Amino acid sequence: MSRIVIDSEKCKACYLCIKECPKNLIRVSDKTNKLGDRIVEFNDPDGACLGCALCATRCPDLAIKEVYKG
Ligand code: SF4
Ligand code: SF4
């Protein structure tokens, strides 16, 4: 199963990754990081992630640090 790993301390809450994901698997979390930014989280209850890495490529802060293609 494909999945991503987000480095919450690098996330700047720009939310570009949310728009980029073709499966709408990234959402705004209710958590904040140490900088006070409202981070994003990966939400994929049905295992729909393609492992396409579009989200990681779009992130200007390299906060999506791993993409596992399953
Ligand atoms: S694109 Fe990167 S910095 Fe922007 S919200 Fe997504 S993970 Fe955070
Ligand atoms: S790897 Fe592709 S399908 Fe998976 S969360 Fe990122 S953009 Fe969405």
Q: What is the pLDDT of residues 6-30, one digit of tens each?
A: 999 999 999 999 999 999 999 999 9
Domain count, the chain: 1
Q: Domain range for residue 22?
A: 3-68
Return the CATH number at 64.
Answer: 3.30.70.20
6 — phi, psi (to 5°)?
-105, 130
Q: Which residues line ligand 2 (CB under 6 A)?
A: 2, 4, 20-23, 25-26, 49-55, 67
pLDDT at 43: 98
pLDDT of residue 64: 98
Helices (H), the chain: 16-20, 54-58
**3-state class (DSSP) for residue 33:** coil
Summarize pLDDT for 40-69 with one digit per residue, the tens.
999 999 999 999 999 999 999 999 999 999
What is the rounded distance in angstroms from the CA atom of residue 31 to the CA atom of residue 21? 20
63 lines ligand 1 (CB under 6 A): yes
Report the predicted TM-score, pTM, of the whole model to 2 decimal places: 0.97
Q: Write the residue with the smallest CA distance to atom 1 of ligand 1.
A: 59
